[in-house]
Structure 1
Amino acid sequence: MDMIEKALQIASQAHNGQFRKGTQIPYIAHPIAVGMILMKAGYSDEIVAAGILHDTVEDTDLTIEEIEREFGPKVAEIVAGCSEPNKSLSWEKRKEHTIEFLKTASSDIRAVACADKLHNIKSIIDDYEQNGEAVWSRFKRGKAQQGWYYTNIVESLGNQSTFALLEELKREVSRLFL
């Protein structure tokens, strides 16, 4: 079976019954969109598969070991790099960790993280255009803290070099928060 198709099947099963925050949109729409963003940008099948699987370890019962067994060490490393290591920490501590980690992460991890954030920002913008300021009530932290997070993510992702997806993320973050 093709690696991307396998990732779609495993992620779909893992995220079964989950929905996007504050919506009735099945959660799997997000990882699929992340994979499509990466595919359109010309990334390899391994990176696309990692994009599709990027939230499975963080948000489902799937483990890094299972990802490695099914997809190999490179995909597992990218998924691990895109997963928050300690969900028991406060939102601020988790986000600060992500911001610092991405400054020196591999280009593959940064590409998947960027595609993830890009899809999230585009979703927020779509919701904002439909619902206005009420969109911020879906989040544990409001507009100011989301703006802090995304602005710092853009800076971290660009710490080593810039790339096409990052330029698009910069534009969307500026559009929403600046």
Structure 2
Amino acid sequence: MKSAKLTERFEQALVYAHRLHINQTRKVGNIPYISHLLSVTALVLEAGGTEDEAISALLHDSVEDQGGEKTREEIRQRFGESVVNIVDGCTESETYPKPPWKERKLRYLAQIETASSSVQLVSLADKLHNGRSLLWECQQLGDEIWKFFPVGKAETLWFYDSLLQIYQKTPYLKLVEEFRQVVNSLHSLFLS
């Protein structure tokens, strides 16, 4: 597996992502949001991702969480069409307020199923990190965790199971296997 050569573009994307999300934290705890973006990027790079895929991992939530169309156009101008296409493929919604949860998730699943391998890689890395975080938070907080989320255990398991069905058709076997382990652990934890 060849490793991506990271250039000044990546450094610029890192600074840009940090600035976009500087006031944002994760849903649980007071963890700076950049931690999620860095984790997703690390997973993409470790899976053999390209520089464009790594930049997209840094920016995958930018359009959705930090400015919609204006941010999309900034990303296009700074980092190019390939990065914008991957970010768009990973964006659930850019409207505020967001559409209802189930509607958003169904649309996202359909979008990911037919997406490019680059979009699927960034999406898988994103959901793997989210799943790892959810598992850890559930182990720490128990059922208190659900006050931070708009849906409960059954809906969450449905979404993760549906994602796994899509991801297992991708070539990212190591990430898929870890995602499967996280999903199985969530099932065990939720159903115990």
Which TM-score bucket, shorter chain as reference? over 0.9
| Closer, same or farther: CA 64–86 of 1 in aligned 2, 3 Å | closer
CA contact (8 A) 1:41 1:165 kept: yes
| Closer, same or farther: CA 8–86 of 1 in aligned 2, 3 Å | closer
**Please, which of 12, 20, 24 is the counterpart of residue 18 of structure 1?**
24
Match of 1:68 in 2: 76
CA contact (8 A) 1:100 1:156 kept: no
Q: Which amino acid aligns with 2:78?
A: E
Q: Give the match's secondary structure for 1:50.
A: helix
Match of 1:46 in 2: 52
Mapped pair 1:121 → 2:140 = no
Q: Give the match's secondary structure for 1:39.
A: helix
Count of aligned residue pairs for this structure pair = 178
1:135: how far off? Answer: 1.5
**Please, which of 96, 102, 109 is the counterpart of residue 119 of structure 2?**
109
**Please, which of 160, 171, 184 is the counterpart of residue 150 of structure 1?**
160
Write the distance in 2 (CA, Å) between the matches of 1:138 and 1:105: 30
- Which of structure 1's runs of 4+ aligned residues deviate more than 6 A? none
Task: Name the TM-score, length of structure 2 as normaliser.
Answer: 0.87
* Superposed CA RMSD: 1.6
1:160: how far off? Answer: 5.4
Q: Give the match's secondary structure for 1:63.
A: helix
Q: Gaps (5+ residues) in structure 2?
A: 1-6
